[in-house]
Amino acid sequence: MNTIKCGHISKSGNRVNYFVNDLNSLLYVILPIFNNVNLNSSKYYQFELFKKAILLTKDKQHLLPEGKSNIIKYKKGIQDLSLGKYLPGSRSNYINITKYWLAGFIDAEGSFSTNKYVPRFKIENHFKELELYQKMKEFIGVGNIILTSPRLDKINSNPTIVLEVNKISELINIFIPLMYDDEGLLLKTLKLEDFKLWLKLIDIYFKGYHTTLEGKYIFDAIKLHINKYRLTTNINLLHNKNRISISDINNLLNKLYLLESPYEIKEGLRYYRNTDRLVSESTKVVAIDSYNNKTVYKSMTECATSLNISRRKIKSCLSTGKSYNGFSFTYN
């Protein structure tokens, strides 16, 4: 509100709403913003109907029977779009993802969470946003798109689309850097606090401390400060849960890091400490034949199956730099 210098805020219970509803502000502030800043989601179609209603009101046409009828029609169209009842057509060629747009979208819709002790980034929406999510995956360069069916136990449930990144190397090397620019973190809402705590989970997991009792305790303690637990007023949600303070967590982390980590990092790869065994995770492997042709495999298993060479032999070649059956190997 202070940035664009119009509108007002109302409070209701634990919700706040920001409204802009005077005609001059809509005409000379809101419309110019969204005429010049790309709307990538299906809200683009809602904005186009919204704009028609504003321009109709500007010309006093809303006072005439036909104008009133059109405004009712625009409102119904906006509601139908919101419910995903229809989309006018493909906008794939007009979707323009930037790291700044992505950060704003994550501020609204993203989730920094874990699956058991595996950190993950997840963003979920109505199935109508499939095109947008495909473009987001293309921009990020990693991740999986998952389609889910409507929930049978929930009235008016809709199919959803999920974009998830859960491989530690992809989170650290590709996704997390997208949340920064030269001036620092791009997130603006309280989602930023979730992100900062989630980075601690990333570090614990990457170094293997989550395999220790001390690490698991701290991991679980951090989880009680993010997502649904962060702002909850639901006492039952924290029933029988011992939530310790962030300062206590930081003290425990300092003590944890005095212990030798279960994993050691060599050239960016994780090995079980004091061994030559890689920590099991999907690692891309490049096979180079005698003609210097390179083939990238999504995992060591895929490479071994394709070339009919055992995983053990490929691991040995990766460790020693030696060739086998006319192939040399490297990590991607």
**Model pLDDT, residue 57:** 92
Look up residue 228 and give its DSSP letter.
Answer: G
Closest by alpha carbon to 111, among 25, 191, 11? 191
**Model pLDDT, residue 234:** 67
CA distance 263 to 240: 33
Per-residue pLDDT of the chain (332 residues; tens, 9 = 90+): 999 999 999 999 888 999 999 999 999 999 999 999 889 999 999 999 999 999 999 989 888 999 999 999 999 999 998 888 888 888 888 999 999 999 999 999 999 999 889 999 999 999 999 999 999 999 999 999 998 887 777 777 788 999 999 999 999 999 999 999 999 999 999 899 999 999 999 999 999 999 999 999 999 999 999 987 776 666 677 777 788 999 999 999 999 999 999 999 887 789 999 988 888 766 678 899 988 899 988 888 889 999 999 988 988 888 778 899 999 988 76
| CATH dotted code for 97-187 | 3.10.28.10
| Phi and psi based region of residue 136 (left: phi greater than 0; alpha: psi -120 to 50; beta: remaining) | alpha
Identical fold for domains 8-90 and 282-331, yes or no, is no
* pTM > 0.75: yes
Helices (H), 182-226: 191-207, 213-223
- Domain 282-331 falls in which CATH fold? Arc Repressor Mutant, subunit A (1.10.10)
Domain 8-90: what homologous superfamily? Homing endonucleases (3.10.28.10)
| Boundaries of every domain in the chain | 8-90, 97-187, 190-264, 282-331
